[in-house]
Amino acid sequence: MGSWQLQEAKARFSELVRSAEDEGPQEITVHGRPAAVLLSRTDYERFQQQKPSFVEFMRKSPLKGVDLKIRRDRSPVRTVKL
């Protein structure tokens, strides 16, 4: 991720936008601290896509319907003195 100081980002805004399109997200700093990130439209739209809920994800799993044989460890629990 590229990093730009705010003053540099304002002065070279066109280059900043091109860098976001070509190289990916660009970080903008104020007094050396991260303040903002500029994304290309493509990256923004990808982040905005609806993600399935966990339940939907599990229902679409290729392992749906597989009968798992899970065995529990029956060994005795160790004694702890407090």
Per-residue pLDDT of 61-79, as tens digits, reads 888 888 888 888 888 888 8
Q: Please, are residues 16 and 10 in contact by the beta-carbon 8 Å criterion?
A: no
Q: What CATH code is carried by the domain that includes residue 13?
A: 3.40.1620.10
Taking residues 10-16, what's their average pLDDT? 97
- CA atoms 34, 40, 46, 50: torsion sign: positive
Residue 55 falls inside a structural domain: no
Q: Which domain holds residue 18?
A: 2-49
In a domain, 39, yes or no: yes
Pick the more confident residue, 39 or 66: 39
Look at residue 60 and tell me if it is in a domain: no
User: Tell me, what's the pLDDT at 73?
Assistant: 84
Domain count for the chain, please give it: 1
pLDDT average, residue stretch 42-52: 89
